[in-house]
Structure formats: structure tokens, C-alpha cells
Amino acid sequence: MRFVDEVRIRLEAGKGGQGCVSFRREKYVPRGGPDGGDGGKGGDIYLEASERKHTLLDFRYRHSFIAPPGKHGQGQNKHGKGGQDLILEVPVGTVVKTVDTGEVIADLSNPGQRWLAAGGGPGGKGNARFVTSAVRVPRFAEDGCEGERKELVLELKLLADVGLVGLPNAGKSTLIAAISAARPKIADYPFTTLVPNLGVVQYADSPPFVVADIPGLIEGAHQGVGLGTRFLRHIERTRVLLHVIDISRIPRAEPLLPFNQIENELACYSQEIVLKRRVIALNKTDLVADAGTIETIASAYRQTKHPVVVISALQREGLQDLQKLLVQILNSVE
């Protein structure tokens, strides 16, 4: 299934039905008077957060949505039926923005949450509504009003407990495949992961938690380099960040360089992300023969005051310790 996380849609709520011009005509009822009914209200358009949806693919090729109009009023004071509401299901975590300013006008972060995106037009009044002492036989009625028309931007921000961040080829995809049932594409060239992947991790008897594999970040990601801003927004809703670092490529003169590169991009993108808890996973220990080198690098990373775990996702070494640590931290984070 193709992952789509940003779309632009056009909505047109239903038009209200016309009021009716009618007069009561019955045998033995002189001067029956007006009896035109009102038109029905046009259908509304709602956006509803659904756990059945995981991508905005439904809106990729169909951009325009029109709700049904209200029915016209009829004689004998019969009011028109209202147009049926149109409910568009979107993934949980969808943010709605205006096209012009990018202002956030709705945040559908809870399953079942429903938001009125475009209101249907009210129906016109029938001539029975206009009877007064001065106007006993009104021969006019109102037309229904147009429904709201809007253009909106839908943006999906994944909801995950743990977000994997790191440079390209750090081994994030291999890690999420090793600890969950996710099966991302894995290869030994940069930018193998082009879209975020989600995996559910079950450790011992603890409640399962969701891990998001965010595509590799590069310098300038906060400015959109390498589609960085599209990837960074998926980190905003995670509770814990897991830095995955390729220990085999760490420069000895500056061991913290990969960590600092990612931290700089995160800080430039959002100060809120800076406040999130972190865990550092030094990956690919199977490519480093010298145990002393591994310990030296691990000691350097412990100076960051973040928990450090040494792992090999490919060999599945250290993963139990990593999962246990993540569970403990998630239990302590709101």
C-alpha cells in the first residue's frame, strides 16, 4: 500500500432545497390559503478519525467531494428531506490546515473524533411561512442557500510511542524488522526507506507499543533537504526518540558527530522535540571486531546523559535489553 501523508482536497457541502409555493385546494375548504413547505437542509461534510485508515491514499486521486443537496419543499406543508451528510474517514493523527496560511484548524488525534469541515446550506422557506395580517396570500418562497465550499490541506502525523531517528543506513529498518512484524525494504544504499514504517513491539507481558521508522535525516533536513520536513513532522507525536547510530562508521576523532548532526536538525525544526526523552542504540557491533573500541565509543555516548544500549539488529544481539529499557521509559512518560 502506498503511503501518502499530505493531500489537498476541495469540499462542497450540499445546497439547501427550495421552499415551495403552494395553496391548499380541497373540496369544501374555501380560502384554503398557502401551504408550501420548506426546503431541506443541505448535507454537511465531516472528517472523522478512523483506526481503519493508515494513509491518505483515498484522497490522492480523488480531490473533490460534494455532499447531497436538500430536497425541495412540497404542498400540504411537507418539508423537504435534508441532504445526507458525507463522512470522510481519515487516519488518526490527521491535521487539517488552511490552504492560504497553513493555519491548523483541526487536529484529529483521537479515534472516532469527528469535525465539521463544511456546513450544508439551510433550506428555503415555503410560502406558508410568509403569511401575515397584511399579506394573506404570499406567492413567493425562498431558494435554498449554497453550502460551504472549502479547500483544505490534510497532513498526516503518525502516532507512535517510539520514533527511530538517525542518518541514512544506520540500520533503523533492520531494527524495526527485528523487534516487530514490520517488513520494510532493506538494502545497503542510502535512502532505502522512502516512507515511514510502523511496527508493533510486544515485550514480555508488557502492553505492546508502536515504533515508527523515520527515513534517514541529512544535514538541512529541517529546511526540507531530502524531504526532511515531511519526515520530521512524524516525530512530533512520538513519546520517545531512539537514536540509531552506526557504530562502524563513527569517526574516532569525533565520536558524537552522528548524534549531534541529528540533534541539530531536530532542534532547528522544533523546540518541543528537544524536550522528548531519548535512548541511544549503538548499532552494527557485528562490524566492529575490537571490543575495546565499542566500549570506548559507548563511554563517549554515556556522557550525553541519555541511556545507551549496544546492539546488533542484524545479529539480534542486545535487543532484549533495548526493548526492556524502552518499556521502562514509556511507563514513566506521560
47-67 confidence digits (pLDDT tens): 999 988 878 888 988 999 999
CATH of residue 199: 3.40.50.300
The last residue of a domain, from among 126, 156, 186: 156
Quick one: 9 and 141 in the same domain? yes
State residue 213's pLDDT score: 83
Q: Residue 201 in contact with residue 211, Cβ under 8 Å?
A: yes
State residue 54's pLDDT score: 79
Over the stretch 127-182, which tens digit does the pLDDT of each residue have?
Answer: 999 999 899 889 999 999 999 999 999 988 777 889 888 888 888 888 988 998 76
Phi, psi of 153 (to 5 degrees): -110, 125
State residue 189's pLDDT score: 46
Quick one: 4 and 137 in the same domain? yes
Quick one: 205 and 280 in the same domain? yes
CATH of residue 126: 2.70.210.12
Quick one: 10 and 115 in the same domain? yes
Q: Which residue has the cell 396570500?
A: 137
Q: Residue 284 in contact with residue 292, Cβ under 8 Å?
A: no
How does DSSP assign 104-115, residue by residue?
EEEEE-STT-EE
Quick one: 135 and 224 in the same domain? no
| 141 DSSP β-pair partners | none
Quick one: 12 and 136 in the same domain? yes
Query: Residues 289, 292, 295, 301: what is their CA dihedral angle, to the nearest 10 degrees?
Result: -90
Quick one: 112 and 216 in the same domain? no
Quick one: 273 and 293 in the same domain? yes
State residue 44's pLDDT score: 98
Structural domain harbouring 102: 1-156
Least Cα distance to 211 among 281, 280, 158 occurs for 158
Quick one: 170 and 110 in the same domain? no
Query: Which residues does 119 contact at the CB level (< 8 Å), separation at least 6?
Result: 13, 44, 147, 148
Q: Which residue has the cell 485508515?
A: 53
CA distance to 97, 104, 150, 152, 227, per residue, from 100 (Å)? 9, 11, 11, 9, 21
Q: pTM here?
A: 0.70
Q: Residue 87 in contact with residue 44, Cβ under 8 Å?
A: no
Q: Residue 197 in contact with residue 189, Cβ under 8 Å?
A: no
The last residue of a domain, from among 156, 172, 188: 156
Radius of gyration for the chain, computed over Cα atoms and rounded to the nearest angstrom: 29
Give the type of residue at 182.
Answer: A
State residue 193's pLDDT score: 47
Quick one: 200 and 277 in the same domain? yes
State residue 186's pLDDT score: 53
> What is the pLDDT tens value at each position of the chain, 334 positions in all?
445 678 999 999 999 999 999 998 877 767 788 999 999 999 999 999 998 887 888 898 899 999 999 999 999 999 999 999 999 999 888 999 999 998 999 999 899 999 999 999 999 999 999 999 899 889 999 999 999 999 999 988 777 889 888 888 888 888 988 998 766 455 454 444 456 777 889 898 888 888 888 775 645 433 444 444 556 777 787 889 999 999 998 988 899 999 998 888 888 888 888 889 999 999 999 999 888 999 999 999 999 999 999 999 999 999 999 999 999 999 998 6
State residue 268's pLDDT score: 84
Q: Kindly state the cell numbers that stand for 246.
A: 552506526
CA distance to 52, 158, 232, 238, 327, per residue, from 332 (Å)? 29, 21, 24, 14, 9
Quick one: 173 and 322 in the same domain? yes
Per the structure, how many domains does the chain have? Answer: 2
Q: Residue 120 in contact with residue 147, Cβ under 8 Å?
A: yes
Crossing angle of helices 319-332 and 172-179, rounded to 10°: 80
Quick one: 53 and 175 in the same domain? no
**CB-count exposure of residue 291 (10 Å: 0-12, 13-18, 19+):** exposed
The last residue of a domain, from among 141, 156, 171: 156
